[in-house]
Amino acid sequence: MSTVERLLKATEEIWAGYHEKPFVRGLGDGTLDVKKFRRYIIQDYWYLMDYTKVFAVGVAKSKSVEVMKLFAKYIQAILDGEVNVHNGYMADFGITQEELDHTPIAQDNRSYTSYMLSVAYRGGEAEVLTAIFSCAYSYEVIARQIVAERPDAPDHPLYGRWVRGYITERYTGNNVILKNMLEQLTADYTEAQLRELEEIFTACSRYEASFWDMAWEQRV
C-alpha cells in the first residue's frame, strides 16, 4: 500500500462524510443559501492566506532544490488560481478589503490553520506535504463527486464556478504532483514515521469536516 493509499484508508469514513455535509450538498444542487456562501468565501479567503504560509514554511524546510521549487510553485498557483476564484466571487458580492479586514476569523478556521502551521514548523518536507494534501485533494474529490451526482452542477450560474475550479486539468494535475512528491519523500519512512503522517492527515481531515460545518452553521 502506498503512503497516500494508507492515508486515505485511515480517513475514508471522514472523507465519505464530506459529501453528506449540508453545505456541500447545497453547493452541488444549487440550494445553498447565498448568505452562507458569501460568508464561506470570506472565511476561505483567510484560510488560503495561512494555507499559503504553510507552503512558505515548506520552502524553508526543503532539503533539495526540487522540493523547494515545488513549494514555491504552489504559492504562486494558489495566489493566481484559487484566490482569483475567490476574488471573482468577492467582486460579485461587493466584498471589499475593508470588510475582509473587519471580519473576525472563525475559531474553526483559526484552529485549522494554526494546526497546519504548527505541523509545518515542527516537521519536515513530508509532514508539510501531508497537511497540505489533505485539503488540496479533498476539494477535488468533493467537486468530482458533485459532478458525478449532478453533471449540470458546473453550469450553475453561481456555484458552478466553484465546482469547475476544482476539477480543472491544472488543479487536478497539481494534486498528482503533490501525491507523487509525497510518495517520493516517504519511500524510506519507518512505520513510526508513517503513523505520525496518519495522525497529521487524520487531524487535517477532521478540521476539513469542521470547516464545512462551520460554513453551514455560520459559527464564529
- Give 138-153 pLDDT, tens digit per residue: 999 999 999 999 999 9
Q: What is the pLDDT of residue 84?
A: 56
User: Do 186 and 126 meet the contact criterion of CB atoms below 8 Å apart?
Assistant: yes
C-alpha cell at 66: 526540487
**In which region does residue 156 sit, left (phi positive, over 0), alpha (psi from -120 to 50) or beta (all else)?**
beta
Alpha-carbon distance 115 to 93, whole Å?
Answer: 30
In which band, very low, low, confident or very high, does the pLDDT at 50 lie, cut at 50, 70 and 90? very high
Q: What is the pLDDT of residue 90?
A: 82
Query: How many helices (H) and strands (E) would you count in the chain?
Result: 12, 0
Alpha-carbon distance 114 to 56, whole Å?
Answer: 14
Cell 526540487, located at residue:
66
Q: What is the average pLDDT across 204-214? A: 97
Residue pLDDT, tens place only, 75-114: 887 777 655 556 678 888 988 888 888 999 999 999 999 9
Q: CB under 8 Å to 187, separation ≥6 — which residues?
A: none
In which band, very low, low, confident or very high, does the pLDDT at 166 lie, cut at 50, 70 and 90? very high
Residue 31 belongs to what H/E stretch?
A: none
Q: What is the average pLDDT across 202-210? A: 98
Q: What is the pLDDT of residue 121?
A: 96
Residue pLDDT, tens place only, 16-48: 999 999 999 999 999 999 999 999 999 998 999
Q: What angle do CA 146, 8, 220 make, to 5 degrees?
A: 65
- What domains appear along the chain, each with residue ranges and CATH number? 3-217 (1.20.910.10)
Q: What is the average pLDDT across 189-209? A: 98
Alpha-carbon distance 194 to 197, whole Å?
Answer: 5
Amino acid at 155: D
Q: What is the pLDDT of residue 220?
A: 84
pLDDT at position 68 over 60: yes
Q: Which of these, 23, 56, 22, lies nearest to 39 by C-alpha position?
A: 23
Q: What is the pLDDT of residue 86?
A: 63
User: Do 185 and 67 meet the contact criterion of CB atoms below 8 Å apart?
Assistant: yes
Q: Which residues are catalytic?
A: 135, 208
